[in-house]
């Protein structure tokens, strides 16, 4: 996998379990970063990592559903915003 440096990763989880997932990520030695678009519990925890750390997180996180790599970033407040962001 060709992935230069460290990128942003997102671990999805059930609402209310973000604190547990955050602790699991930190125990793996990864750095949790605040999501600039979050307005509270969102069912996800954002963290920094390399391709190798993404694989480790997918294997070792027990309370997360998936570990995702964001393709675009932006604020979305409506379906039209989401459509425009996806098109970009």
Would you say residue 22 has pLDDT above 90? Answer: yes
| C-alpha span between 5 and 36 (Å, rounded) | 21
Per-residue pLDDT tens digits for 32-78: 998 766 666 689 999 999 999 999 999 999 999 999 988 888 888 99
**For residues 15 and 43, is the Cβ–Cβ distance under 8 A?**
yes
Sheet with 7-13: strands ordered across: 31-32, 44-49, 7-13, 64-68
């Amino acid at each position: 996998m060709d992935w230069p440096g460290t990128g942003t990763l997102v671990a999805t989880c059930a609402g209310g379990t973000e604190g547990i997932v955050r602790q699991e990520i930190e125990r793996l030695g990864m750095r949790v970063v605040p999501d600039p678009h979050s307005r509270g519990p969102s069912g996800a925890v954002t963290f920094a990592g390399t391709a190798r750390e993404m694989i480790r997180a997918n294997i070792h996180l027990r309370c997360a559903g998936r570990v995702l790599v964001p393709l675009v970033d932006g604020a979305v407040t409506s379906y039209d915003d989401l459509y425009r962001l996806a098109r970009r």
